[in-house]
Amino acid sequence: MKNYIRLFLILGLAFSPLLTLTPSSIHADAPAPPSQQIIVKTRPPLPGELAGAVTLDSILIDCDVQSTTPLFDLSMGDVALKRALGLANVYLVTLAPATDVQKTLDTLAADPAVEYAEPNYVGYGAVLPDDQYFSFQWNLNNTGQSGGTPGADIDAPAAWALTLGDPVTIIAVIDTGADLDHPDLAANLVDGYDFVNDDDEPDDDHEPGHGTHVAGIAAAVTDNGIGMAGVCPNCRVMPLKALNSDNAGFYSDWIDAIEYAVDHGASIINMSLGGTGNSSALHEAVRYAYVAGVPIVASMMNEGDDALFYPAAYTETIAVGATNRYDERWASSNYGDHVDLVAPGSEIYSLRTNDTYFMMHGTSMAAPHVAGVLGLIEALRPGFGVEELRYVLRSTAEDQVGPPNEDKKGWDPYFGAGRLNAALALQAVIPPASVAIEGPAEGFTGQTHTFVAAVDPITVAQPITYVWRATGHAPVTRTGGLSDTLLLAWDAPGAHSVTLAISNFGGAITSAHAITLALPTELTVCPGGGCDFETIQPAVDLLSEGGLIKVATGVYTGVNDRGRLAQAVYVSKTLTIRGGYTDAFTEPPDPQANPTSIDAQGAGRAIYVAGAVSVTVEGLHVTGGDAATLGGGLGGGDVGGGIYAQNANVALRHNRVFGNTARRGGGVYLWESSAAVADNVFSANAARWGAGLYLVASDATLTGNTVVANVSELDGGGLYLDASVAVLHQNTITANQAGGWGGGLYLSGSPAELQSNTIANNSAERHGGGLYLDASDAVLTNNVVVDNQTAGEGGGVYVKQASPRLLHTSIARNLGNSGVYVTGGAVALTNTILVGHTTGITATASDTVTLEATLWGAGDWANGTDYASDGSITVGARNVWGDPAFTAPDAGDYHIAFTSAAINAGIDAGVTTDIDGDVRPVGAGYDLGADENASGAAAVRMSVSAEASFVEAGAPLTYTIRVTNTGDVDLHVVVSDAPPEQVAPTAPQVWTFTLPASGDGWVETRVVTVAAGYTGPLTYTAHVTSAEGAMDTASAVVWAAEHTVHVDPEEGGLLVASGDDGATVTVEIPPGAVSEAVQLTFASLPEVVDPPAAFSFAGQAFALEVYTGGLLQGGVVFHNPVTLTIEYVAADVEGLDEDTLTLRYRNGETWAEDGITVVQRDVDKHRLVTHIEHLTEFALFAQAPQDERYTIYLPLVQR
């Protein structure tokens, strides 16, 4: 603020403890000490004068001036308005102490460059004290409780029924300051200023607190259980101290305070003060507020005559006189031609400094009543100008309530327009009665829409009757308060209307609202509510064609009957169902972190797609489907346990389809459909044909999928393609089983293209452990067919009456009578690695088989016989017998090292990339098999593996990093890793070393601990770079789960040893368990023990290996009921009877027992199949000769 030098004329204060004064003793004409401050306004330049020719310095050149300061602040507020009013030319001038003030004023008044020069007048607050205590406020509601006249009040309670004000309304109180900590005021204060002491702490240092008393009348806090109520209890007070502790102050401070209030957002200014000096500068400040639309309420002062006091005497202010409890003019209240109205001012109870209360008299008390009512009006009808507010106050004041000799009809100089009535003033500004319906203008069918009656609380008295009407709905009538809500939903799209009529004793008011509904294009589903639906089927039914359903993490169960079919989700329109969201739907979907399951629980299919529609399923777990006895499919139905589609366009992306059962297509069945199937996992599904996927007469592209641990009773353990056109690219087909033909893949009459796939570790009991081609002229490029097995022919590939082409194929270590078997076909194999078989390739006499550029193996990788036929096999000139030098075949890595005999041994077969997408050829020629080694250059390969697919939260976990130099130069490498953030330690490690071109490579383990309580994916990544430019990256994903089945008695887990001799081991499978592939070896078990739920074996060196099928790759959650299949292979079955191996299991609460039937087959495999409704525990019992070894495959299904 401005740094003034202030000299005060101290007037006697009526409430001073040193003086005892009467009203007549406080008079503006009383002598005052001289002040050396004057206010000067220079005039604008006269016509013909240059702008700036007249300056303040030139005017004051002959005056003895100590300092000059602009009186108005042109750095803030409405600067344009201030300049327009000439306020930029007003200055506060401080003269030297010995200067004659009056002589200086006379000199300046005669100067034509001066518009005016005047003293810095002193004024005071308009108050008289009263020590009498009253416990009530007659001024707000007078019932005659204190001997007064009932109704002689401002009728505040009736006004408060309409509004208590608004905190955005600020009443600036220009006075002695305020008690900033008073409990009845502090909560309603905003920042103010002290113009007396020039600081921002406007504390009230007057005793007993004139400014505090005035502020309390205007806006003391209410409903706080203490003290009293202000007229506008929800308004805020801006305390502006312009009177000193003696209740006196300079006009210059009043001017500053007015300007500050306007510039800082005050809505109303109260000035319970006055002075007799008619100051032009003060008048200009009042006009600034007036033009800015900020009313100034000023007290008439307390002389009991018609003397003029300022600012009340200015026409721009609202001048207020005072009345008593009898509606009489208070005797000391001034009167005159400028009074606007009167308000209670005698014996007014309000706040006192030091957190107390007391009574005071004066027009100072009357003015804040009016300021408070203006605050109530502002809350009800903001935006009125000063003259509009003056009109409201005068037109609603109660006339002729006082003595007839003074309070005459209409305006008079004693009462003005009458005594203030707050209720009448507010009723006069009430807007026209209205009610509106708040609700959406657009929406979707089937959704609930909310409509709220928006009743203006001041327009309608309660109670209110609401009558709602809406198209397609019966009327709803209710009686209530100021709000009512209606919830509506429509099934039909189009335009709908909602109407509302409200009524009370004042009549009826109506309103209408229109809403247009469409079928929704996007819906959300979450299991706990808070979104559009809690289950998926209603969302499918409601969604518009081509829409999207977002599904939050959770398990969605239950089936519905549609067309005599049972399924969890029935789809007959084009749409997308996408899982992996959180309940908030604010983040992109993450199926790994937010698993989302559709579980049919064996009661029907999981998803049924009917008709010629386009359906996309993304990020879902599809499980529990059972198509047994269901129709809707080719050949009598019971097909497609997980997902069934006919005549449709289907896209499957990032799903896990597991634990489903059907006659055909346990996981997926597509009939005469087009499909794009990418990045899915199909596991632990069961069927007679095509356990993972079955396609008939369909056109499909399968990319990046994992088909693992599916079991077919007959053919196509992983996939079965029947008369379909398919492209299979970069899929992994592994650990699937077929009781007949085609353990991994069965193609029947399907001209498929197989590119860069891995077909490994599959088995078929009849023929074609990896791949069975029946009348299918397929083209296979860059595929790896390894470690498959069959009891018959074609451990890797079986070809029957087909003419396929195999380009750059790695066929290795498949068990069976032959790696490749051809009967009735014409097969061309180019650039092939064919190693590690009993017989590499066998063909019958009628076949035509040609091999160009073949690696036949040597040493451990030699075939027993390379090829066998009756002259039907033609072997080209480019044959190699040598070591394929696979990188890490036992770990499933069939890339070739730079020492491989396959390097540069091939011919140009028109294939320009290898299984990894790397360019062919590198070096002098094409490499044989699926991989192109970077021979002759720096090359490196990295693999990362984990000890388990699943791990318990809080448990340790070991990752293994393997780096192999696949080039022919030594490498200077740097290996770094990035553990997942949910393990400890999380800090990366770095290894630097030299990796020779020859050798076994580099292996390192990293042991971490999973965070307690964490469930979800754990992705560990490692990266290798070399100074020679070679690099590679690999990662492994392990799932952390609440329960995992670790079958390892040495480490405990859920497999708990019991019995002193350690011969009994119990496996408990908790609900929701996630199992993993495990291996258990028992040794030194001295005797047979036979408790329930136990493995028991005899023999000192008996070994048992247990596998949970479907858990070999990535793990899977199983469900009840289950068809439990147990198979085992005995190296020597001599002396093994049918009853020597027994399964015991708990079916619900009872124990059951089945023997495993020994069936003599080529590889001595034995099987038990039994159906269990509710598997909770299981046990195996074996009687076996010493040193005999058995392997048991156990596909365990448990929810």
Burial class (CB in 10 A: 0-12, 13-18, 19+), 1060: exposed
Which pLDDT score, from 0 to 100, does residue 1161 have? 31
Which pLDDT score, from 0 to 100, does residue 950 have? 63
The reply to whether 274 and 385 lie within a common domain is yes
| Strand order across the 1002-1010 sheet | 940-946, 956-965, 1002-1010, 983-984
List the single range of 274-283, 345-354, 486-495, 623-632 with lowest mean pLDDT: 623-632
Which pLDDT score, from 0 to 100, does residue 1110 have? 27
pLDDT tens string 590-621: 998 899 999 998 899 999 999 899 999 999 99
The reply to whether 156 and 198 lie within a common domain is yes
The reply to whether 101 and 198 lie within a common domain is no
Residue 27 has pLDDT above 60, yes or no: no
pLDDT tens string 362-408: 999 999 999 999 999 999 888 899 999 999 999 999 998 889 999 89
pLDDT tens string 672-711: 999 999 999 999 899 999 999 999 999 999 999 999 989 9
Give catalytic status of residue 497 as yes or no: no
Which pLDDT score, from 0 to 100, does residue 694 have? 97
Residue 164 has pLDDT above 60, yes or no: yes
Task: Look at 1090 and 328; give whichever has higher pLDDT.
Answer: 328
Count how many Cα atoms sit within 13 Å of the Cα of residue 435 in the half-sphere of its side chain: 26
Residue 158, domain member (yes or no): yes
d(CA 1038, CA 1020): 8
Which pLDDT score, from 0 to 100, does residue 607 have? 96
Which pLDDT score, from 0 to 100, does residue 935 have? 62
Which pLDDT score, from 0 to 100, does residue 220 have? 93
Nearest to 685 by CA among 658, 708, 662, 705: 658
Q: Determine the average pLDDT of the residues in 915-933.
A: 92
Query: What are the tokens at 340?
Result: 């606007």
Residue that finishes a domain, picked among 470, 489, 518: 518
Task: Look at 504 and 1130; give whichever has higher pLDDT.
Answer: 504
The reply to whether 955 and 824 lie within a common domain is no
Query: What are the tokens at 379?
Result: 């809350």
The reply to whether 876 and 980 lie within a common domain is no
d(CA 386, CA 392): 10
Q: Determine the average pLDDT of the residues in 217-239.
A: 90
Give catalytic status of residue 1058 as yes or no: no
DSSP structure string for 332-367: T----TT--EEEE-SSEEEEETTTEEEEEESHHHHH
Which pLDDT score, from 0 to 100, does residue 598 have? 95
Residue 132 has pLDDT above 80, yes or no: no
Q: Determine the average pLDDT of the residues in 50-58.
A: 60
Which pLDDT score, from 0 to 100, does residue 952 have? 74
Task: Look at 230 and 4; give whichever has higher pLDDT.
Answer: 230
The reply to whether 959 and 997 lie within a common domain is yes
Residue 1131, domain member (yes or no): yes
d(CA 341, CA 299): 10
In the set 279, 364, 712, 763, the catalytic residue is: 364
pLDDT tens string 415-468: 999 999 998 898 877 765 678 889 999 888 878 899 998 776 655 555 678 899
Residue that finishes a domain, picked among 119, 147, 181: 119
In the set 153, 182, 184, 210, the catalytic residue is: 210
Q: Which residue has the tokens 């008695």?
A: 1049
pTM greater than 0.85 (yes/no):
no
- Torsional sign, CA 530, 531, 535, 538: positive
Give catalytic status of residue 175 as yes or no: yes
Which CATH number covers residue 249? Answer: 3.40.50.200
Residue 202, domain member (yes or no): yes
The reply to whether 953 and 922 lie within a common domain is no
The reply to whether 891 and 1016 lie within a common domain is no
In the set 175, 774, 787, 883, the catalytic residue is: 175
pLDDT tens string 799-839: 999 999 999 999 999 999 999 999 988 999 999 999 999 99
What domain range is 460 assigned to?
435-518
Which pLDDT score, from 0 to 100, does residue 739 have? 94
pLDDT tens string 1030-1072: 888 988 877 776 543 333 333 332 232 222 333 333 333 333 3
Residue 1157 has pLDDT above 50, yes or no: no
Residue 561, domain member (yes or no): no
Residue 605, domain member (yes or no): no
The reply to whether 1058 and 1184 lie within a common domain is yes
The reply to whether 199 and 261 lie within a common domain is yes
The reply to whether 308 and 319 lie within a common domain is yes
Q: Which residue has the tokens 């949910």?
A: 982
Percentage of the residues of the chain whose pLDDT score is greater than 90 = 55
Residue that finishes a domain, picked among 413, 429, 445: 429
Which pLDDT score, from 0 to 100, does residue 458 have? 54
Percentage of the residues of the chain whose pLDDT score is greater than 70 = 79
**Total tally of structural domains belonging to the chain:** 6
- At residue 299, what are phi and psi to the nearest 5 degrees? -85, 145
Q: Determine the average pLDDT of the residues in 64-77.
A: 88
Query: What are the tokens at 300?
Result: 């008439």
Task: Look at 881 and 1097; give whichever has higher pLDDT.
Answer: 881
Residue 129 has pLDDT above 90, yes or no: no
Residue 563, domain member (yes or no): no
Q: Determine the average pLDDT of the residues in 115-142.
A: 69
d(CA 904, CA 164): 93
Average pLDDT, the chain: 81
Q: What is each CA distance from 628 to 513, 603, 1128, in whole angstroms?
A: 52, 9, 27
Residue 842 has pLDDT above 50, yes or no: yes
Residue 509, domain member (yes or no): yes
The reply to whether 888 and 975 lie within a common domain is no
Which pLDDT score, from 0 to 100, does residue 51 have? 47
Alpha helices in 249-334 (DSSP H): 251-263, 280-291
Residue 22, domain member (yes or no): no
